[in-house]
Structure 1
Amino acid sequence: MVDANADVRADLLTVLARVPDPRDPRGVRFPLVGMLAVAVSAVLAGAKSFAAIGEFAADLDTVQLGRLGLGKAPVESTLRKLFARLDAAALDVALAVYAWCQVRQIGGRRVIAIDGKTLRGARTAERTAPHLIAALDHATGVVLGQNQVEAKSNEIPAVRDLLTGFDPCDLRGCVITVDAMHTQDDTAATILDAGADYVFTVKANRPTLLSALKKLPWNKVPVGSRTTQLGHGRRATRTIKVIDLPMLPDWPEFVGVAQVAQLRRTVTKNGKKSVEVVYLITSASHHDAQPATLAAWVQGHWGIENRVHWVRDATFDEDRSQVRTGVLPRIMASLTNTAISILRLTGRSNIAAATRHHSRNPERAITCALTW
């Protein structure tokens, strides 16, 4: 369980020391915490494979290795063999503690997006590609937690498992945003039981809810908030209309709903206009989530695609990764999430440029890993 209250600004080596070492203590030449720390440092410098991590370690001098808790550099085969035996779930818990302890709430309520990503490069003839569920802090872009399911079809209960893995005190007062797949009564109850609020998109997988939303007299509801963005040769206007649930006496039963909303996105590009309408439900009251706030939460949810999933593919080439054996794909994703989070915390918005910066001087990568 993730208990951020146990640490204040926990350092990386401290939390990595909590990961169980699967080896017999007799004859251990490389401390596990040092092996993990050098791996994080290497990924901060752009390493995309265990071969690259081994090469990064080989280039370090004795002083640099000592800062990471190592007497000498481990080679690729040593790293790979050890990491293949690790408890990947325990590593994710340790890294989640580290991430949560670094994050400070930035105005208003903490909003957490949860979404899944398939590791396509890890697919083999004998094994389906593993699917990872991650939780992202909207404000900072830090990955707060991760777990794995064997197939995307198992994502719904995995989200509830991820939520219950956090200490209840961590989630109290938070807002959880998820996509339409997770508009489920059990997921809503899990969020509410933790003292948090949800924002759900409603689509065809909940036909009764969707039908009820579409039938509401939206043309008589005033626009609660309007924003316009210009860029890439297009103009995007978003409007949101919100109705308090007490005004809807015949509303279909769904646990905890306080408000419903219609979000309309109009995009004009090259003289052509497209309109997308999305319906939402939330347990947050009008006092806690006025229209502009609710619209910002919804837009912020897709940051997990742009700030994590896309970065893992575009910068770390995850979908073409040759790391395929056992838990190794998950561990590599965990290291990548941690590197992205550390770089976000240091104020980096361009992750590719940041990894190139650290690759030119390993000392910068080590310092970055150990001081956040």
Structure 2
Amino acid sequence: MLREEIWQRLEKVPDPRSPRGRVYPLPCLLAALLCALTAAGHDAVCAAGQWVARASPAELARLRMPVDPWTRRHRRPDESTFRRLLVRLDRDALAAAVLGPAPDTTGPDTPDPPPVPSPPGRTGPALAVDGKTSRGARRPDGSRVHLLGVAAHGDGRLLTQVEVDQKSNETTAFQPLLSGLDLTGVTVTADAMHTVRANLDWLVTAKNAHYLAVVKANQPTLRAQLAALPWTEVPTADSTRGHAHGRDETRTLKAATVAHLDFPHACQAVRIHRWRRQTGQRPGRETVYAITDLTFAQASPAQLAALARQHWHIENKVHHVRDVTFGEDASTTRTGNAPANLATLRSAVINTLRRAGYRYIPAGRRDHTTPTAALDLHGFP
């Protein structure tokens, strides 16, 4: 089940269409899109029309499709109906409806921010912030659709995402992305692009959260300060070895308490040394520096190492799945809000299948190829 009271969630999305000549209620179209994208092989907008065409009258009734007064049969929307809707639909409202918290029907109209789950092996919750470019969605001016999302460490559940404006970059979307989440006590991990003083200071002071941020060449002074620390005198605090996809990797981590870094709230400096050997390639070494406002009492070196590794869950469990399983990178849909809205619906399907216990998303989609199976999965009565 996607959420409790799924119809109430979909009804909160504002309808961008003119009331005149409107045939299909917006919630029933969104429900059909969500269920169609769940079925294996249904990756594009055109597949939604084919999926609805195969639905039985009982399944159309569960989707709340309107009945033609002349034929007494349920109407079936076609591809163009779905396509026009996705182009104009508010992408933030859709993300809040299918990715955000369940509505509170007994309290105030504004729902509480969504809770952030804690990953296994950690005492506190953690989120990863990362961006993704839809490579096939190239617009006439040559730009591509770029989405910035935030996912939970551990299960990789995407909580929300925003589209980055063509004339800006991810750093300007950092605060709007996280502003609607309750981040009290949450650790946010980010790559070097988001190691920005104003954003991380806002994260600690305004959101009562913590950060673990990578430092690279975009912060040359800070990186030089980190590299100059006496790392040879710091003992190795954590070491892990792994083998996957034909690659051997050894990671060692050192952490040192610092008090003189010219960066907001920095308490610990981290050095991660990676040694990799790929089949058929020469071994390589890489040294990465990071900073965090977490003190040693709040996060041990082993926990910092886990945070650094689990940051990539957003890439492995969200972005990679959308590209490989749903063919998102190959999709050429580029008009208006359609690329962002399709990405949101795909992420909602991934979240639901993982919540249903599926470790591998392709297997989950193959188990829900019929309309009835998809409707049951998402909790449509």
Same fold (TM over 0.5): yes
| Secondary structure in structure 1 of the residue aligned to 2:224 | helix
Task: Could you tell me which runs of 5 or more consecutive residues in structure 1 were left unpaired when the two chains were aligned.
Answer: 1-7
Structure 2 counterpart of 1:263, from 247, 272, 275: 272
Q: Kindly provide the CA deviation profile for residues 213-254 of structure 1, in whole angstroms up to 9, marking residues without a partner as x.
A: 1111111101111111133444321111101124xxxx3311
Is the CA contact 1:11–1:98 (under 8 Å) kept in the aligned structure 2?
no
Structure-2 residue corresponding to 1:297: 307
1:36 partnered with 2:30: yes
Q: How does 1:163-242 map to 2 (within 5 A)?
A: 163-166=178-181, 170-192=182-204, 193-242=206-255
Structure-2 residue corresponding to 1:69: 64
Q: 1:239 to 1:340 in 2, by over 3 A?
A: same
Could you tell me how far 1:23 is from its partner in structure 2? 2.9
C-alpha distance in structure 2 between counterparts of 1:28 and 1:214, whole Å: 62
Structure-2 residue corresponding to 1:92: 95
C-alpha distance in structure 2 between counterparts of 1:305 and 1:195, whole Å: 26
Could you tell me how far 1:198 is from its partner in structure 2? 0.5
Structure-2 residue corresponding to 1:321: 331
Q: 1:370 to 1:98 in 2, by over 3 A?
A: farther
Is the CA contact 2:117–2:125 (under 8 Å) kept in the aligned structure 1?
no
- What amino acid maps onto 1:88 in structure 2? R
Could you tell me how far 1:305 is from its partner in structure 2? 1.3
Is the helix fraction higher in 1 or 2? 1
Is the CA contact 1:129–1:150 (under 8 Å) kept in the aligned structure 2?
no
Q: 1:83 to 1:201 in 2, by over 3 A?
A: same
Could you tell me how far 1:204 is from its partner in structure 2? 0.4
Is the CA contact 2:190–2:214 (under 8 Å) kept in the aligned structure 1?
yes
Cα RMSD for the two superposed structures:
2.3
Structure-1 residue corresponding to 2:128: 113
C-alpha distance in structure 2 between counterparts of 1:126 and 1:234, whole Å: 39
Q: Kindly provide the CA deviation profile for residues 29-57 of structure 1, in whole angstroms up to 9, marking residues without a partner as x.
A: 21111110111111111322111011111
Q: 1:142 to 1:371 in 2, by over 3 A?
A: farther
Structure-2 residue corresponding to 1:283: 293
Structure-1 residue corresponding to 2:46: 51
C-alpha distance in structure 2 between counterparts of 1:220 and 1:362, whole Å: 62
Structure-2 residue corresponding to 1:307: 317
Is the CA contact 1:240–1:261 (under 8 Å) kept in the aligned structure 2?
yes
C-alpha distance in structure 2 between counterparts of 1:111 and 1:371, whole Å: 31
| Percent of residue pairs bearing the same amino acid type | 38
| Secondary structure in structure 2 of the residue aligned to 1:190 | helix
Task: Could you tell me which runs of 5 or more consecutive residues in structure 2 were left unpaired when the two chains were aligned.
Answer: 67-73, 103-112
Q: How many residues are paired up?
A: 357
Structure 1 counterpart of 2:373, from 347, 354, 364: 364
Q: 1:103 to 1:34 in 2, by over 3 A?
A: farther
Q: Kindly provide the CA deviation profile for residues 104-163 of structure 1, in whole angstroms up to 9, marking residues without a partner as x.
A: 545521111111111221113335212110111112211100101133852111112101
Structure 1 counterpart of 2:11, from 6, 9, 17: 17
Could you tell me how far 1:185 is from its partner in structure 2? 0.5
After TM superposition, the score normalised by the length of structure 1 is: 0.90
Structure-2 residue corresponding to 1:158: 173
C-alpha distance in structure 2 between counterparts of 1:105 and 1:262, whole Å: 24
Q: Kindly provide the CA deviation profile for residues 1-40 of structure 1, in whole angstroms up to 9, marking residues without a partner as x.
A: xxxxxxx954432211110112344553211111101111
Is the CA contact 1:95–1:145 (under 8 Å) kept in the aligned structure 2?
no
